[in-house]
Chains A and B, each alone.
Chain A
Amino acid sequence: MSVVAIDAGPRRGWRSASTWVGAVIVGIAVFCALFTNQIVPHDPFMQNLGGRLKVPFWMEGADPAHLLGTDQLGRDYLSRLIYGCRISMLIGVTVSIVSALIGITIGVLGGFIGGRVDDVVLFAITTRLSLPVVLVALAVVGLLGTSMTILVITLGLLLWDRFAVVARSTTMQVRNLDFVAAAWCAGCSRFRILTHEVLPNIASHLVVVATLEVALAILLEAALSFLGLGVPPPLPSWGLMIAEAKDYMFFSPWVIVIPGVALFVLVLGINLLGDGLRDLFGARTDP
């Protein structure tokens, strides 16, 4: 990252450099998520109690067969890391889709119809924002049990607020433009105006929100898994890997450094890409 920060070129150049860094990180993550089974060097679930906590390659006594060492049960850390990337991306994208469906529907209706409907929409957004996300998600998963499906639906039901806010405000702007008036005059139905005139014109803003939302969902999933109420073991979620390695961190710090850095870099990459897209589209995503 320092390379990007030191570069004192024009704003545009710096921005596009950080966007490219983000795009490359996201590209690698997508590749790891799609081709997990082809690129993992070992079975991420295979335990080997004789070869526990082998150190990664940069430390003395590393095993060349396990580049990033092994965990407390002797499972290959690199393989678990790559598999964890697939889980993070899967959860990030699916949560973002669920919350986009809810948020965009609510936001567009509020912004397009206005009046009473909009009052209700604003009220729903205010109520949603007042709920503590982590706590509510923990409570739901704690009561219903840990599974990927429950986790995705819970987070999706909690993270639609930014989609709704942005969809509402951008729809309000588009609603009063001339081409919408033209469509009304041409006799288009309300539904057709929504799908053919409004949605395409607010799509770029929503794409930016979606990117940032994927990053947020990945961070939340990791936090919930860390607390033991996210992705169920033995699936290698990065949050869960950190939780399982916590007992060994004082003697072998790398066990928490590796999954934590992976999580940080992925979220950073998605955010950089999102910020870049925002500049590119001239979109506004502030609530």
Chain B
Amino acid sequence: MLRFFVRRLIVALLVTATVMTLAFVLTRLSGDLAISIAGPNATQADVDAVRKAYGLDRPVIRQYFDWVGRALTGDLGDSYFFKTRVANLLAERMPVTLTLGIVGLLIALAVSLPLGILAAVRENTVLDRLVQMVAVIGQAMPSFWLGLILMITLGLRGWLPISGTGSWQHYVMPGIVLAFSAIPALTRLTRAGMIQAMSSDYIRTARAKGLSRASILLKHALRNAAIPVVAIAAVALGFMLGGSIVIEQVFALHGVGFLAWESIGKNDFPVVQAVVMVLAVIYVALTTIADLLNAVLDPRLRSA
């Protein structure tokens, strides 16, 4: 058990290190950053000044280790555009993104758990097919377009606010849109897990004991079917945080995704670099926790 934990943690650390390197390389893709920052009307003297001011005249390797060293102590550098610490910017914007992600996940679970159970219990009936259809439709729905459609239907009637933050109502529409991206996978997984659990020996025993249908379903089957769902829910949250950039832009929610989108347009590379890294690290942390949780809940997985 301990060996498994240590192995997983080492892999997580290695992935984090690789992601940090990729985030750094990513922002150096355009070649000379000083030219992009100085803008199209800059003279050679301006470019040189920018290069010196931002430390871009140093060797790339020095810049890289400098960045990694500081990032490890929580110092993500300064934003060129906002003229503040990137870490402060992230701390300011992160609550919006996290709230959106958690609201999205809760909506997704509230829809997909009942749907998945329903489909499993009524396997191969019209109901089951309808549920699977919902999953297929959810998978094909372009999230930004769904957001706009909700705005011109629910928003225009004044039922829900169209953009910005401020109250819980502001998170309802974006939350629904974000949930759509996770509902297909979560529903399919709940359905498959329930079908497998329902055909297992312990359910037959529970039936033979004469337990009530509700007790068999909720206490015995769901508990086992929930294990993979919990893991995928953690992974889905990570995906949703990364994918929320589109939805934040549609609904003008000023979270980290919106921040990243703004910063890409302004060549504010310390911010872009930091957002890529932070989202990746959150994803790695969530998947690692999910794996460890799975191992605790289901001893059969530990040898993997």
When distances are taken between beta carbons in the complex, the residues of chain A under 8 Å from B284 are 130
Which chain B residues lie closer than 8 Å to A267 at the CB level? 139-140, 142
Q: Is the CB of B280 within 8 A of A130?
A: yes
The smallest beta-carbon distance between B54 and chain A, in angstroms, is: 16
Q: Given A138-B260, A250-B152, A227–B136 Cβ distance below 8 Å?
A: no
A239 to B249, CA, bound (A): 14
Interface size class of B (residues with CB under 8 A): 35 or more
Nearest chain A CB to B148 CB, angstrom units:
5
Nearest CB in chain B to that of A11: its residue: B124
Q: Which residue of A has the minimal Cβ distance to B283?
A: A130
A264 and B145 form a contact (CB under 8 A): yes
Contact A5 B144 (CB under 8 A): no
Distance in angstroms between the alpha carbons of A126 and B18 in the assembled complex: 11
Grouping DSSP codes into helix (H, G, I), strand (E, B) and loop, the B interface class, with mixed when no group exceeds half, is helix
Inside 8 A of B156's CB, which chain A residues have their CB? 250
Whose C-beta in chain B lies nearest to the C-beta of A245?
A: B148
Decide if B137 is an interface residue (CB 8 Å cutoff): yes
Contact A131 B142 (CB under 8 A): no
Let me know if A135 is at the binding interface, CB within 8 A.
yes
**A227 B249 Cβ-Cβ under 8 A:** yes
Residues B26 and A139 in contact, CB atoms below 8 Å apart: yes
B245 partner residues in chain A, CB cutoff 8 A: 132, 134-135, 138, 227
CA distance A257 to B150 in the complex (A): 12
Does B275 sit at the interface, judged by CB under 8 A?
yes
Known contacts A1-B133, A11-B124, A143-B30, A256 near B149 by CB under 8 Å:
yes
The answer to the question of A144 belonging to the interface, with a C-beta cut-off of 8 Å to chain B, is yes
* 20 A-B interface contacts by CB (under 8 A): A8-B125, A14-B129, A127-B22, A129-B283, A131-B280, A132-B241, A132-B245, A135-B257, A135-B260, A135-B276, A139-B276, A142-B264, A143-B26, A143-B36, A143-B264, A222-B145, A223-B246, A257-B149, A260-B145, A264-B141
Task: List the 8 shortest-distance A-B pairs measured between CB atoms, nearest first.
Answer: A132-B242, A142-B264, A268-B140, A260-B145, A143-B30, A267-B140, A130-B283, A130-B280
